Amino acid sequence: MDMDCFYAAVEVLDDPALRGQPVIVGADPQGGKGRGVVSAASYEARKFGVHSAMPVSRAFALCPKGIFLPGRMGRYSEISDKIMGILKGFTPQIEQISVDEAFLDLTGCQRLFGGPLEIARKIKGAIKGQLSLTASVGMGSNKLVAKIASDLEKPDGLVIVPEGGERDFLSPMPAGKLWGVGPKTTERLKQMGVITIGQLAGFDPKRLEAVFGRMGDYLHERANGIDGDPVSQGDQVKSMGREHTYDEDTGSKEDIHRTLLSLSEQVAASLRAEGVKGRTITLKLRYQDFETHTYGRTLEASVDNAIEINAIARMLFDKNWQTFRKIRLIGVSASNLNQGEDQLGLFDDPKNKIKNEELDKAVDKIRGRYGRKAVKRAGEM
């Protein structure tokens, strides 16, 4: 299950006046000097050639009349939780792989919900009926086939690949459609005369192994529609992070400290929205020459509070920043996630903990309704 233009669709849901307009979620193309990237684009914007991960400067050049909006991760996470709740009404076997995408193992669900086509329609109908959003569904005997099928008829798509038809389904598609086949691998395969997945499926596996090593066996199996990876309910989200690209490279410690606080706020809000906490906090620094470094610290107790996350991020920055070099990009992330309650320290005040949790919930609620800029910490000003 893959939601259609999720971020942009949520913006239209909250402001129906945007319906039919080229909505682009990302940085301000003028105020931010075009340094950010597009997070999502509505189908109206895609007609102009705009797509996710594109620099906003390029998006603005392609679609100058587009409606550029800042992202609201708190709101997207809130809707995501509702979507996942709907999916859990069909099966407990769910592997969420992003805020708007998940695998469902529907083995044994036919007695409750009918055959594959009927189940798929019910899933799509439940999401649309309860949230007024459209989802595309791909169904197959394994995750590889289901994922590729979900992308074929967007938006509001529904593609079912019958068991035994995996190879025929994949055969005419370009090799780059397979997971793990990026531009470099695609080019290498092209040099070997392999353009389609079908050609890859029929290629000598020993020659693939000679060229790609262990990856060769993986490529041959996937090209033949073989994927034994189960739908996993393990740590569904590995980490949560936010990054900021400066309009101009900066060497101002005060500016960077303000950015760290803002990023820590956003990471903390995302953790709370998912109902998880992180034990490992990581700082990412990209200098003006694009050289990138990461630094991490694992804590005794997991956290979802901005002040605690910011304290670690700021410490890592102060300790590792090469002061003679300007910063282009900075990021903060939390990983090693868990949903358990951590025991209070010997000298921790439970009243303060409750007070901070209530404050966080209140701020999250305000920002979810009015946007992140509605409430700011003084340290961000």
Catalytic residue annotation: 101
Q: How far apart are CA 305 and CA 323, in angstroms?
A: 28
Q: CA-based Rg of the chain, rounded to a whole angstrom?
A: 23
Cis before 16 (ω within 30): no
**C-beta of residue 95 within 8 angstroms of C-beta of residue 103:** yes
Between vectors from CA 86 to CA 84 and to CA 90, what angle results, nearest 5°?
Answer: 105
Q: How many CB atoms lie within 10 A of CB 223?
A: 28
Q: What are phi and psi of 77, to 5 degrees?
A: -65, -35
Sheet holding 292-303, edge to edge: 239-250, 327-338, 277-287, 292-303
Beta bridge partners of 96: 102
What DSSP designation does 55 have?
B
Q: How far apart are CA 339 and CA 320, in angstroms?
A: 31
Q: What are phi and psi of 222, to 5 degrees?
A: -65, -40
- Indicate if the alpha-carbon torsion angle 338, 339, 340, 343 is positive or negative: positive
| Consecutive H or E run containing 45 | helix 43-46
Cβ-Cβ contacts under 8 Å for 293 (sequence gap 6 or more): 284, 285, 320
- CB neighbour class for 241 (10 Å; exposed up to 12, middle 13-18, buried from 19): middle
Amino acid at residue number 69: L
End-to-end CA distance of the chain: 40
